[in-house]
Amino acid sequence: MATIPTGDFRKGIKVLVDGEPYEMLECNFVKPGKGQALYKTKLRNLLKGTILDRTYRSGDGLEAADIHRSEGSYSYRDSDNFYFLDNGTFEQYALPASVCGDQMKFLMEGAEVQLLFWNGQLISMTPPQQVVMEVTYTEPAARGDTATNVTKGATLECGAEIQVPAFIRQGDRVKIDVETGSYVERVQS
C-alpha cells in the first residue's frame, strides 16, 4: 500500500490506523512558535463508527486504505443479515442487521444503495437520502384539523409507520427522509 505523507492529509481520505480503515473528518495544520509543524486530525473508524483524535508531526505518514465505493441494490433479508447485489460485478454480499441500522425499514427490494468495500469485503452501505412510498393505511382526517400542524400515524407500503400531516390519505405517495424517518412532502402522481 502507498503511504500518504502529512502534507497530503485532507478531509475525506481513507487511511489505516492500527490495521483498521479510517476516514479523515478533519485535518488542521498547526505551526507552533518553534519546533516542528503539527497536523491535528479527527478520524472515524469505518468498521465501528468510533471517532479518534490524533496528532502527527510533519514528515510522518499513514498507510492508504484500500477503500472503494460501488453502486448496488438491496436484494433481501434473512433472520440475521441483509443481502446486497453489486451492480458492477453482479456479486452478492451480506451485511449484519446491526451494521445496516434502522434505515433499512424504508427500503424495498431492488432499492439503489451505495456499497463501501475494504480489501474486497463489504463493510457498510449508504441508502438513498429520500425514498417515495405509498401510504397503505391511515385514519381519515377529522374536519377542522387542516388549519394547524396536526399529524397522524400512517403505514407505508414497506410496513414502516411514520407521522404525516392530516391531509394525507390512503393511496397518496409521500417522500420520506430515510435517515430521520420523517415525512418530507406529498408526491403528485
Residue that is last in its domain, among 126, 151, 176: 126
State the Rg of the chain over Cα.
Answer: 22
pTM value is 0.78
Res 55: pLDDT: 94
Give the number of other Cβ atoms within 10 Å of residue 126's Cβ.
Answer: 14
Instruction: With beta carbons less than 8 A apart as the criterion, state whether 41 and 9 touch.
Output: yes
Same domain, 75 and 57: no
Q: Are strands 61-64 and 92-96 parallel, antiparallel or unpaired?
A: unpaired
Res 184: pLDDT: 93
Res 144: pLDDT: 61
pLDDT mean for each 10 residues of the chain (189 residues): 88 92 93 89 90 92 92 92 93 89 87 92 91 91 66 91 90 92 88
Res 148: pLDDT: 66
pLDDT digits (tens, 9 = 90+) for 9-41: 999 899 999 999 999 999 999 988 888 899 999
Backbone angles phi, psi at 40, to 5 degrees: -95, 120
Range(s) of the domain holding residue 119: 67-126
Same domain, 122 and 95: yes
